[in-house]
Structure 1
Amino acid sequence: MPHESLTAQLAPHLLLLATLRETRNVTRAAELLAVPQPTISRRLAALGEALGSPLTVPDGRGIRLTRAAELLAEAAERALGPVDAGARLAREEIEPGSGRVVLGFLHLLGRSLVPTLLRDYRAQAPAARFTLVQGSRQEMLDRLSSGELDLALLAPVPEDPALDTAVLDEQPILLSVPAGHRLAGHEGVGMAELADEEFVMLEPGYGLRRITDDLCAAAGFSPRIAFEGQESDTVRGLVAAGLGVALLPHFEPGAPAGVSEVPLLPPVGRTIGLAWRKGEPVSPAVRAFRDHVRARECSGRWEPS
């Protein structure tokens, strides 16, 4: 049989092949696909006849795919990703108000910024659905580039020709020190004055870590790292315990107990922005939420965490 004819017969059954590859059980596959088991068996027999070789062989209480079927199933799994994406676009073109947005963001931005954005957006689009993904800046960039995320709130805003971005605000970076530290209450401090301090840092891959490393290098020293963490709130807690100093965004509404914030001289800030893949079509739901975020910034109502 010409491969074009085989492709035409296989196309409606891509999900069946992918499901069997995962479950290795006809009964379980029938349950997942909501199709009677005899129907699954007939389809497998017909596909095997079209291919000229059986697709499955018994394996204990289940089955396993033949080598030829494994090759087809691998191709089916690769093909299903774009098909699922296309189905989502088509569905949301008809019902944009109930679409889903996969939004990535930094841990720090999840404290108040992201909840505020979602609350305000849901007020005008109550059926909108979100999948929220948190992580380091590098992790969010990787997942955005791979297509796992629709949008990402990042700081600093990436300079990547493969991404489109919208700068939303500039967020001041301050020195956080224990309340009893020699610099607590000072009106400002230069980075060179911190050469002998022990630092509490975020792990590599976080935007604040890169900013801290770059500022220390520009001041002519490598930071002495006492502790590394994955969340800014943990870093602040370590500072409050007297375990080091840290460069962190201004804490709203004011520095927490045990921490004093000191401005850097000259002032230092980082951009907060929204990023998405350049040139790719997006669903109406993603486009509507993206426009909502950008409109907030334009109206001067942005309130960074």
Structure 2
Amino acid sequence: MDDPVRVLAGPLQVLAAFGEHEHVTRVAEALGLGQPTVSRALARAQRAAGVPLFVPDGRGVRLTPAGRALTATAARALAEVERGVREVREDDAVDTGRVALGFLHTLGAAAVPALVRAFRQDRPRVRFQLHQGAAGALLDQLTRGEVDLVLTSPVPDRPGLRTAALAEQPLVVAFPGDHRLAVPGPVRLAEVAGEEFVLFERGYGLREAADALFDRAGIVPRVAFEGQDAHTLRGLVAAGLGVAVLPSAQRGTSEAFAGVFPGVFPGVVERPLAGPGSTRVLGLVWRDEPLPRVTAAFRDLVRERRELLVP
């Protein structure tokens, strides 16, 4: 395999080596190149710089002050190139690389830990860089290259992105435990039209889903509180400050808070939402370009183990 540093920064490598050896023959020997190749690389560097980097010195050449300054800069640049090559190779390695994953807050308590654990059973040295946020912000991070995969809802339709719909997650209406509608069984949105609501802030996928439900039912909700985290919203519901449209509780979340499924938060009763739009689709999104090998492997596991996303 070709030396990636030589391919990416060949003239810089020759220039830095000349700064160390100050002799064309010794540079050629150090880099395993022919002397004519070294001479041509130095000439290209000088033309690109636009100032004299070398002056004749007997049968050879020596550096000018500008040449010395630029060879020092070239050495630092090469060190950065070498570090970058090592990092991207390490991040790409299927057994020891790094997965940059973005996901919704509501998937952080159980679904994402379960998927990461399943993947690391066979690849215990793989590292994860995890980003939580609103759906729109996560997709912006994906577009900028800050993450390589995003678990989100709704599944977007954007140029330059590829998607895979994975699972449907039921939506519920969360009531305070002493609410008159805190009873078993499904509930229609029309039954709670007059309640005060605790909703996610705009920009979150669940707010988009809730707004679509209200529009479909012809309801203009009275919004008492807006938040960014499902646990906070459930806490507000438990305090009797409103009702909330939320995804159904995940088993891991339930066990962490109450030890009983589906009750996820003391003082909260969740009833399945009845009617059209009573579920949200969870999906996986990535850029339409080659993924690092380790990220592609994790993507494939998520698609195979999609049952871990929902109760």
Q: Same fold (TM over 0.5)?
A: yes
3-state SS of the aligned residue for 1:182?
Answer: coil
Question: How many aligned residue pairs are there?
Answer: 239
* Aligned twin of 1:105: 103
Paired residue type of 1:245: V
* Aligned twin of 2:143: 145
Distance 1:244 1:88, change over 3 A: same
Distance 1:284 1:184, change over 3 A: same
The answer as to 2:311 corresponding to 1:302 is no
Q: Paired residue for 1:195, among 177, 193, 196?
A: 193
3-state SS of the aligned residue for 2:290?
Answer: coil
Paired residues for 1:177-196 under 5 Å:
177-196=175-194
* Aligned twin of 1:62: none
The answer as to 2:132 corresponding to 1:134 is yes
> What's the CA shift for 1:160?
2.4
* Aligned twin of 2:287: 277
Note the alpha carbon deviations across 1:272-295, whole angstroms, 9 max, x for none: 1111012x1111111111111112
For the Cα contact (< 8 Å) 1:173–1:270, is it kept in 2? yes
> What's the CA shift for 1:187?
2.4
| Alpha-carbon distance in 1 for matches of 2:239, 2:13 | 61
Paired residues for 1:144-293 under 5 Å:
144-251=142-249, 252=251, 253-255=261-263, 256-266=265-275, 268-278=278-288, 280-293=289-302
* Aligned twin of 2:33: none
> What's the CA shift for 1:50?
3.4
* Aligned twin of 1:124: 122
For the Cα contact (< 8 Å) 2:115–2:305, is it kept in 1? no
For the Cα contact (< 8 Å) 1:169–1:302, is it kept in 2? no
For the Cα contact (< 8 Å) 1:213–1:222, is it kept in 2? no
For the Cα contact (< 8 Å) 2:91–2:99, is it kept in 1? no
* Aligned twin of 1:70: none
| Alpha-carbon distance in 2 for matches of 1:205, 1:239 | 21
For the Cα contact (< 8 Å) 2:200–2:229, is it kept in 1? yes
| Alpha-carbon distance in 2 for matches of 1:153, 1:119 | 16
3-state SS of the aligned residue for 1:130?
Answer: strand
> What's the CA shift for 1:110?
0.6
Larger Rg: 2
Aligned-residue RMSD, C-alpha: 3.3
Paired residue type of 1:101: V
| Alpha-carbon distance in 2 for matches of 1:140, 1:12 | 42
> What's the CA shift for 1:129?
1.1
> What's the CA shift for 1:200?
0.4
> What's the CA shift for 1:8?
7.5
Stretch deviating more after TM superposition (153-162 or 117-126): 153-162
TM-score (norm 1): 0.69
State the identity as a percent.
46
Distance 1:114 1:52, change over 3 A: same
* Aligned twin of 1:63: none
> What's the CA shift for 1:188?
2.7
| Alpha-carbon distance in 2 for matches of 1:129, 1:152 | 16
For structure 2, which runs of at least 5 residues remain unmatched after alignment? 1-8, 16-44, 53-72, 252-260
| Alpha-carbon distance in 1 for matches of 2:90, 2:177 | 55
Note the alpha carbon deviations across 1:212-271, whole angstroms, 9 max, x for none: 111112111221111111100100000000000000111132122211112222160011
| Alpha-carbon distance in 2 for matches of 1:181, 1:266 | 22
Paired residue type of 1:283: P
Note the alpha carbon deviations across 1:71-119, whole angstroms, 9 max, x for none: xx9xxx9xx99x95x76554556x4311111000011101011111111
Distance 1:234 1:281, change over 3 A: same
For the Cα contact (< 8 Å) 1:163–1:276, is it kept in 2? yes
